[in-house]
Amino acid sequence: MSQPLRLGIAGLGTVGIGVVKIIRRQAALLEARTGRRIELVAVSARDASKDRGISLKDYAWETDPVALAKRDDIDVFVELMGGHEGAAKEATEAALATGKDVVTANKALLAIHGQALAEQAEAAGRIIRFEAAVAGGIPVIKSLTEGLAGNEITRVMGVMNGTCNYILTQMEATGQGYNALFEECGRLGYLEADPNLDVGGIDAGHKLTLLSSIAFGTKPAFDKVRLEGIQRISLEDIHHAADMGFRIKLLGVAQRSARGLEQRMSPCLVPANSPLGQLEGGTNMVVIEGDAVEQVVLRGPGAGEGPTASAVMGDVCDLARGLKIPTFGQPANTLEDVVPAQTGLPAPYYLRMSLLDKPGALAKVAAVLGEAGISIDRMRQYGHEDATAPVLIVTHKTTRDALDQALTAMAETAVVDGEPVALRIETV
């Protein structure tokens, strides 16, 4: 009979409690599948007196997660606390230093310290697994590192923040504005303690960093992701996009070309009839393109107790089976530095702006675009009663750099009121 795999779990919130429940409920199934008993030995959280809905009396309690990580009666340290500094980082380092494998759901920790942690793990002959960190219950890390290992990956895209997708799809479905839905998400508990992590694209940017590293064999580099949130998307944008057959999604794209590696997380227009365009509510989707497989689309729940715990347990089972795969799919010392693309691949852009109602205003905008080498595909001015006229422009393919140059010049024409909204139209 094989030895049991002994776990210590730090963090008994939504995900941690979900993991405890699966370990109990599915003990026989997990043992049958892995050939080993999965045994929970010790747990840690801040407040020992908190009612967590299940009894934890069978497990040793550690108030300090670093002490839990160092225990010599566990094989695997399961980090489910969150945060990229402090307890999560210290305890993960302590676990690796004392010979434990690590399973984590913490995208922020790995997006920022992933390279150093992967190097530490590999130097010690240990494994870090993080399926739950990206797109919740969707087994996307496993797909990229294992199932698609025979492909040269050309592009990875994803809608990976359920809260943003909920806000954007509810704006369209209910006609409520961004601010009302942002407040609703706060009431429903859908927002992180720092909401900018969600609506500012940071959380999804962390996830894209990890996917990109595996896909392109590069060191995770969150600081090289171009980030833009959904805060400036208005109902008009949603309606204009719908009129043209598109929907707006907070879309992460990582793509390598001769220009370098492009990594961006930004609201984009995608065709309404594409799989990404049809994605509703809190559901996540990741699209992976490879030279041999062509395109794979993965769809599923991006968060929540059950889906996230499911992903954590997938990692635990792999460790129980003895599967050894480097953190980012290849040895950490072979990962290359990211060479960011100097200019992104060209695409058409959607522009919405308010023009002062003066003769020649539209001509000035068209001239500025022309000077930046941007040609206009469609242009529409909407009826208005106040001193500014809403104008919508769809450009032919151009680079973001050329567009930024035009937007800077536009601000100096004194005919544009406020900052235009510029959204890439992504081919998916």
> Is 207 designated active site?
yes
Q: Cβ of residue 102: shortest distance to ligand NAP, in angstroms?
A: 13
Q: In terms of CB distance, is 90 or 357 closer to ligand NAP?
A: 90
- Pick the catalytic residue: 70, 100, 142, 207? 207
Q: Cβ of residue 79: shortest distance to ligand NAP, in angstroms?
A: 8
Tokens of 216: 């392109």
Q: In terms of CB distance, is 105 or 279 closer to ligand NAP?
A: 105
Q: In terms of CB distance, is 222 or 350 closer to ligand NAP?
A: 222
Q: In terms of CB distance, is 136 or 348 closer to ligand NAP?
A: 136
Q: How far apart are CA 8 and CA 73, in angstroms?
A: 9
Q: Cβ of residue 33: shortest distance to ligand NAP, in angstroms?
A: 23
Q: What single-letter DSSP state applies at residue 84?
A: S
Tokens of 313: 């347990």
Say whether 359 sits in a helix, a strand or coil. Answer: coil
**3-state SS, one letter per residue, for 276-314:** CCCCCCCEEEEEEEECCCEEEEEEEECCCHHHHHHHHHH
Q: How far apart are CA 61 and CA 131, in angstroms?
A: 26
Q: Cβ of residue 136: shortest distance to ligand NAP, in angstroms?
A: 5
**Phi, psi values for residue 278, rounded to 5°:** -90, 0
Q: Cβ of residue 216: shortest distance to ligand NAP, in angstroms?
A: 23
Q: In terms of CB distance, is 217 or 304 closer to ligand NAP?
A: 304
Q: Cβ of residue 30: shortest distance to ligand NAP, in angstroms?
A: 20
- Sequence-distant (6+) residues with CB within 8 A of 196 are 202, 229
Binding site for ligand NAP (CB under 6 A): 10-16, 44-47, 50, 65, 80-82, 87, 105-106, 132, 136, 303-304, 308
Q: How far apart are CA 408 and CA 412, in angstroms?
A: 7
Q: In terms of CB distance, is 160 or 403 closer to ligand NAP?
A: 160
CA torsion 113-114-120-125 (nearest 10°) is: 160
Residue nearest to ligand NAP (CB): 13
Q: Cβ of residue 221: shortest distance to ligand NAP, in angstroms?
A: 19
Q: How far apart are CA 329 and CA 144, in angstroms?
A: 8
Q: CA-CA distances (angstroms) from residue 16 to 21, 23, 67, 301, 343?
A: 9, 11, 18, 17, 42
Q: CA-CA distances (angstroms) from residue 117 to 89, 112, 126, 261, 313?
A: 9, 10, 10, 23, 21
Q: In terms of CB distance, is 210 or 391 closer to ligand NAP?
A: 210
Tokens of 34: 């892995």
Residues designated catalytic: 207
